[in-house]
Amino acid sequence: MSEKLAEAEAPDEAPAAEPARPRLRWWREALYVLVLYGVYSTVRNQFGSAGGPDGQANAIAYGHALEIIRIQDALGLYVERSIQDWYLSLPREGLIGFWNVFYGTAHFIVTAAALVWLYRRDKPRYPLWRNTLAASTLLALIGFASFSLMPPRLLDEPQARFGPPTAAAERDFGFVDTLAEYQTFWSFDSGTLKNISNQYAAMPSLHIGWSTWSMLVLYPMLRRRWAKTLAVAHPLATLFCIVVTANHFWLDAVGGLVTLGVGFLAGRALSAAWDRRAVGRGATRPGAGMSLPGGGRPVPRVVIDDTGAVP
């Protein structure tokens, strides 16, 4: 009896097609980052200390700082000065110069390194976290424009006192501007930087937003325990840094985390929209979701001999 040919019955439904995202190009991603940061910097510096009449800008930012202090006082969280006083009382002022350098460099270097490493090591996660970083950075501009905030280090400067004579305005805040008093290679007091940089862009704190983003990006890609510990320590060190250098209040950090959370939701929605668009165009990954007419799927041919055995 001649051999019989049979094909196993194919399942009724094919697996869902995976959307084919546009291929990532390093030069295009670099261009995105440069354009985004250029737009962010330009818009950011249209407000606060870098835009508008100095007296008006100072008065608004100073008034907002008093509001933050009242809220933190009510919550028992107004401890920034105590922390700074303690730290600067340590031998050699606790090597505060290190934290000045950390404040001016770490959030750029670590964030950029995390983005590049994510691109090279984990491309499936890259679009979501790139979109999250972009969305949270742009969302921060809303806070800078609507709630300019004088950082603690500037509260005792004479030009800051434009508000009504309240009890809070009469007190000596006592914060030390460590960037000015313990100078390293940079300071906000340098002529060009002082004129073009919005020093009242403090709420939300993107130092906290970016450092937490970096931790979330890096942690899943790290294998060694010490490396994971460093990733978790980065936003904590950043929080200590912004307080001990008197650049932010605690609530600025909370604002940074909220902004990152909203940015993540926006980034996820944007990534999902791109996926739906790819599916709508009928684009799939090579080999994904292949099906036969009628919903069947091709399977290997099975040969059965005269004895009924399958070779």
DSSP per-residue letters across 128-182: HHHHHHHHHHHHHHHHHHH-----GGGTTSGGG--S---HHHHS------HHHHS
Mean pLDDT over 137-158 rounds to: 91
Decide if 8 is inside a domain: no
Percentage of the chain with pLDDT > 70? 71
> Can the peptide bond before residue 311 be classed as cis, meaning omega within 30 degrees of 0?
no
Decide if 88 is inside a domain: yes
Give per-residue burial for 245-272: e unless 16+ CB within 10 Å, then b: bbbbbbbbbebbbebbeebbebbeebbe
| Owning domain of residue 274 | 17-288
| C-alpha–C-alpha distance, residues 51 and 33, integer Å | 25
Number of domains in the chain: 1
Please determine, for residue 108, whether its predicted confidence score (pLDDT) is greater than 90.
yes
Decide if 1 is inside a domain: no
Decide if 6 is inside a domain: no
Q: Which residues contact 253 (CB under 8 A, 6 or more apart)?
A: 205, 208, 239, 242
Decide if 7 is inside a domain: no
What's this model's pTM, rounded to 2 decimal places?
Answer: 0.79
Decide if 311 is inside a domain: no
Q: Which residues contact 136 (CB under 8 A, 6 or more apart)?
A: 206, 209, 213, 259, 260, 262, 263, 264, 266, 267
pLDDT tens for 211-227 read 999 999 999 999 999 99
pLDDT of residue 277: 76
Please determine, for residue 208, whether its predicted confidence score (pLDDT) is greater than 80.
yes
Please tell me the total number of residues recorded for the chain in this structure: 311
Name which of 16, 34, 32 is nearest 24 in CA terms.
Answer: 32
Decide if 245 is inside a domain: yes
pLDDT of residue 47: 72
**147: which 2 tokens?**
């709630």
Look at 302 and 177; give whichever has higher pLDDT.
177
User: Mapping DSSP to helix (H, G, I), strand (E, B) and coil, where does residue 303 land?
Assistant: strand
Look at 279 and 204; give whichever has higher pLDDT.
204
| C-alpha–C-alpha distance, residues 137 and 37, integer Å | 9
| C-alpha–C-alpha distance, residues 146 and 207, integer Å | 19
Percentage of the chain with pLDDT > 90? 56
Decide if 297 is inside a domain: no
Mean pLDDT over 53-77 rounds to: 88
Backbone angles phi, psi at 252, to 5 degrees: -60, -40
Reported as a pLDDT band with limits 50, 70 and 90, residue 282 is low
Mean pLDDT over 64-73 rounds to: 96
**Looking up tokens 């040919």, which residue turns up?**
5
